[in-house]
Amino acid sequence: MSNNVPTVKLNNGVEMPMLGFGVFQVPDLSQAEQAVTDALETGYRLIDTAVAYQNEEVVGKAIKDSDIPRDQIWVTSKLWLQDYAYEEAKKAIDLSLKKLGLDYVDLYLVHQPYGKVDEAWQAMEEAQEAGKIRSIGVSNMTPKLWKKFVPDFDVMPAVNQVEFNPYFQQKELRQIMAKNGVALEAWAPLGQGNAELFHKPVITKMAKKYGKDAGQIILRFEHQEGVTVFPKSVHEARIKSNMKIFDFELNSAEMDQMRALDKGKGMHDPDAPGVEEMLSQYDVHTND
């Protein structure tokens, strides 16, 4: 990777950038394409999309039009749970590659940990062996869901992508993952713009001290915790500012102050009753 973003070595030996750009909830396709273009021009080299975001094609187009060598961009996509049955999963992986216009993706995740996860994982393991995917992982796996599925996998996930921010620091899950060298990727690293979080005196005080904004303090904390982040924005100024977190460092007392903000729960509870049923109703193939 050619820019100044640090990388993390995954448990399969592959290096992944620790800062990236996400396109969740950017349904306007021209806006999504422009945002990815801006992100790549700013220096981001990890782009996170998913089948369920319905924007793989424009992400692929922005990557192609950037003229950045393919091996310098880390592309993540995710399999939706209606495609977890083995044969459907194989087709869905190929469809993702076709929409993205790529020969391979760097990371492919089981997006929601319900249903035929074992079959999806088998198809992903085979796609990795075939060179279609460099690293495979999971998403939204709580300690309970991790214990349900992962012990039966032949290949240990390289990544678990979960909700993570100062209010929800996933302490139990991180202990489980650390035993197997599984990297944590954060969705909602800024608490989805939680105003209360951004105005916490402990954070605003650090922002003033370092000449940074609250978002940069939060992202820096997460980076120092070893978490890979990919904040989403469609605003060019914010896309640029989210990247400026590598020219300062929080001291150990400040890190402890940030850790003390943990509430131990997030906005989304994958273990809650009815979540699987609710997510299962979402059809990702309406536009295919």
Which residues are identified as catalytic? 53
Complete DSSP assignment for 233-266: -S-HHHHHHTT--SS----HHHHHHHHTT--S--
> 45 by DSSP, 3-state: which?
coil
Q: Residue 204 carries which DSSP code?
A: H
d(CA 231, CA 233): 7
Query: Tokens at residue 272, please?
Result: 């809650």
- Please state, in angstroms and rounded to a whole number, the distance separating the CA atoms of residues 175 and 49: 27
CA distances from 207 to 164, 202, 217, 221, 263 (A): 20, 9, 6, 12, 22
